[in-house]
Structures are given as C-alpha cells and as structure tokens.
Amino acid sequence: MAGQLRAYRRQIRSVQATKKITRAMELIAASRIIKAQANVRASTPYARALTRAVSAAASNSSLDHPLITEKPDVRRAAVLVCSSDRGLAGAYSSNALREGERLSTLLREEGKEVAPYLVGRKAAAFYRFRRRTTEAEWAGFTDSPSYENAKEIGDRLLADFGKDASEGRVDEIHIVYTHFVNMVTQEPRVVRLLPMEVVEGVEAPTEGDLQPLYEFEPSADAVLDALLPQYVNSRIYNCLLQAAASELAARQRAMKNATDNADELIKKLTRLANNARQADITQEISEIVGGADALASAGSRA
C-alpha cells in the first residue's frame, strides 16, 4: 500500500507541473490574441478597399492583363497552405491541411497539376512525412506575421505566375487559410487569388450605401499594373493575420481544456491516494489490534 501511495503522489506532482505549463500557455495565448484581433480588424478594411479599387481598374481597363485574364488551358495550380509552426493548438493545423487536401484532389480531378507552397512547420512536416515535393516553404512567423513575410510570399508566387510554361509556370493561385470568426469558431477557407475575380458591381448597392467613383491617372491600365502586386501582397497578409488569430484562439481553447482536464485528473488521483492512505492506516490498525489480542491471549494462558 505504501508503494501505491507513493506512486499516486508522484503522478499528482507530475500532473500539477503539466498544469502549470498549460495554464501559462493559455494566458500567453489570451494576451496575444487581443493584438492579433486588432491586426485583423485593421487590415481587413484596407484589403477590401484595395480589392474593390483593383476590380474597378480592371473593369475600366481595355488591356487583357495576365493577372486578371482567365487562361484557356490551365495546367498547373499553386496551392498556398497556411498552417502553424507549433503544435498544442487543437485541430487548427489538421483542419487547414485537410482543406488543402480536399482542394488538391478537386484540382487533380479537373486535370490540373498541383504545386504546393507551404507556410508553417506543421504543413512542411506533413508533406515531408509523405515524401511529397513542394515548390517553396516559409516558417517562423505563423503566430505573428509581418507585411515583409507576406511580400516575400507574394513576390515568389507572382514570379512563378509570370514564368513561361517551360519554366514551371503556375496558371492559378489558391490560398488555404483559417478564417477567424470569433474566439470559438475558426473556419478553414479557400480563396482563389489569381487570376483575380472582378467583384466591382457584383453586389447590389444597399440603401444609403455610397459607391465610390474612380478617376485613373494616367490610365486604368497603368494603375492596374501598379495595384495588382499590392493587391496580392495585401490579400496574403490579411490571410496570414486571420490564420495567426485563429491559431492563437485555438491554442488558448486547447490549453484551457488541457488545464481543466489536469484539474479533474488531480482530483481523481487525490481521491485514489486518500483511499490508498486510508487502506494503509486501516491495515496498520488491524495489525496493532491483532497483535494486542495475541498478547492478551498469551497472557491469559500464562
């Protein structure tokens, strides 16, 4: 019984140490999610406004720009998958990877070759374990991305989009990321980045909604050439910020669940330790009483 009691106490100390770690990670994620949400709120209006401006320039342009023109024969499609660098975030990375697999399967069924571009060590490990080749990988910034990171990714994608077919050109660019809805809900989403889908004038204006009037200098074509790289980088940056906020929210929720489970396990182990201790005490009392009875019996026979 004494050995069993020591084992229970050792397990309790181990769980308590784990609980301290999960509690600290929960608090860190909770403190960082506020800044991540603010970054998402700050970047989303700019990304939407820039998308509308690029769409307006494309609507008024007479040039068949390669970034907005649908290619008749799409051979290769780039898929940028945004995952996390670290684990302990529940099903965050696995949901994004599952959505990326679903998109890749759909593209292959359409006769397109998939070129993976990966963000985060979890996605890189997923593809490396399955011995799959990738076009490019980025890591080290998934929970706090900067615009420079987005620009680096956007420059690489635009460079591959502008190559010749013999040099490994990609004809489409898709982004798989996790959209931050709220602290409880984060949804994996797929966005086709290029060729750009013109959205200007698609939605009917609501009552009281002022529609912008654009004047392009020197021309809509020149403005389009200047805006499209900014559009690509801003959309990638917004997707990275959405993914970062989703990762932190998922990690906070996962660590809270782990802390709650640790509390329950400590209570269970404490009850078992108390039962073992009580059984040990009862056995000792029984041995003492038995010894006293034996001595009393020996004394009465003498």
Q: Which H or E element spans position 117?
A: strand 113-119
Q: What is the pLDDT of residues 141-193, one digit of tens each?
A: 998 999 999 999 999 999 998 888 788 889 899 999 999 988 888 999 999 98
Side chain identity at 30, as an amino acid letter? A
Say if residue 189 is exposed, middle or buried (CB neighbours under 10 Å; 0-12, 13-18, 19+). middle
Q: Which CATH number fits domain 27-199+217-255: 3.40.140.10, 3.30.930.10, 3.40.1380.10, 3.40.462.10?
A: 3.40.1380.10
Secondary structure of residue 76 in the 3-state scheme:
strand
Of 33-37, 63-67, 98-102, least confident by mean pLDDT is 63-67
Q: Beta strand pairing status for 186-194 and 172-180?
A: antiparallel
pLDDT given for residue 203 in this prediction: 46
Model confidence, pTM? 0.81
Side chain identity at 163, as an amino acid letter? K
Say if residue 50 is exposed, middle or buried (CB neighbours under 10 Å; 0-12, 13-18, 19+). middle
Q: What is the pLDDT of residues 260-276, one digit of tens each?
A: 999 999 999 999 888 88
Q: Which residues are paired to 114 by β-bridges?
A: 77
Of the candidates 257, 31, 45, 229, the one whose C-alpha atom is nearest the C-alpha of residue 144 is 31
Residue 199 has pLDDT above 60, yes or no: no
Phi, psi (rounded to 5 degrees) for 3: -65, -40
Of the candidates 7, 41, 18, the one whose C-alpha atom is nearest the C-alpha of residue 255 is 18
- Asked whether 82 and 119 are in contact (CB, 8 A), the reply is yes
DSSP class of residue 73 equals S
